[in-house]
Structure 1
Amino acid sequence: MNIQNYNLLLADDDHDDCDFFREALDELSLPVTLVTVNDGVELMDFLEDKTAENLPDILFLDLNMPRKNGFECLMEIKRLEKLKNLHVIIFSTSLDLGIVDTVYEKGALYYIRKPGDFAKLKKVIATAITMTTQPDFKKPERENFILQP
């Protein structure tokens, strides 16, 4: 996926985290468009309204959201033919290794523990976008699944 402008989707119910993410993107000056949704139902409605050619390039997915959590959304995304190749990066405050293993097995491409430090957030977002948008990108092995800033 080597494109001029990256369409990113952030699914997160924490408005402060969404603002922090947007500010980090703004400072990175990457060619991106960011759309945010605030719960799993809103996420799935948004994705179902898109054509396959119109899907976001990367979905940053929080696990703990109301109405439908990130686990449910990830499983639904990977079951649906139109969405199964969507690049999903888990973006969560938790770093439970059992959860990390589960989302890896369910098809997420990377796992990012939300950093509280702005510089680290910028670095890990830039790394995630750069790595997943390479033309020869392949899902990493489990030992490289957690992205560290």
Structure 2
Amino acid sequence: MTTPYEPGQVLRILIAEDDIDDQEILGETLDKLHPAAEVVMVSNGLKAVKNLEASSDDALPNLMILDYNMPELNGEQVLEALSGHPRYNRIYKVVLSTSSSPYYKSACLALGAHGYHTKPTSFIEFEELISALLEACTNHQF
């Protein structure tokens, strides 16, 4: 088994988030913590699925951060759309939400999410969470 991100390899991150403020803070945090990462930001779940479908296997993201509550397809629905396709198994998938609903969390984890986190309320908390996600993505085995 190998890790999807190894030193010298480009780290690709797909973020599906409809809130502009959250897009900005995620982008700034990633730029600070891993400025060499290739970050693609889309505004809804359908665009996330279409982005993945259009990507070659070599260009798939290593990390996908999904907002739970998005238009078109929510985070759970995106995970459901990806769950039947083995080519997406190597992607480290995480859901962020304003909701701490145990149902949402268990449903997302059952569909292949590697984590479900309530959105932090401060930049420092966002930085800590993103740092932990980058480390988990780096150590992810598939």
Fold shared, TM-score > 0.5 on shorter chain = yes
Percent of paired sites with the same residue = 26
Structure 1 portions without partners, runs of 5+: 140-149
**Match runs of 1:1-149 below 5 Å:** 1=3, 2-4=6-8, 5-134=10-139, 137=140
Q: CA RMSD in A?
A: 1.6
The verdict on how the C-alpha distance between 1:8 and 1:78 changes in structure 2, with shifts beyond 3 A counting, is same
Contact 1:89 1:109 in 2 (8 A): yes
Distance in 1 (CA, whole Å) between partners of 2:63 and 2:52 is: 12
The TM-score, its normalising length taken from structure 2, stands at: 0.88
Distance in 2 (CA, whole Å) between partners of 1:30 and 1:58 is: 15
Residue 9 of structure 1: how far off its partner (Å): 0.7
The verdict on how the C-alpha distance between 1:73 and 1:29 changes in structure 2, with shifts beyond 3 A counting, is closer
Structure with greater contact order relative to length (CA < 8 Å, sep ≥ 6): 2
The verdict on how the C-alpha distance between 1:41 and 1:138 changes in structure 2, with shifts beyond 3 A counting, is same
The verdict on how the C-alpha distance between 1:31 and 1:50 changes in structure 2, with shifts beyond 3 A counting, is same
Distance in 1 (CA, whole Å) between partners of 2:134 and 2:12 is: 10
Aligned length: 137
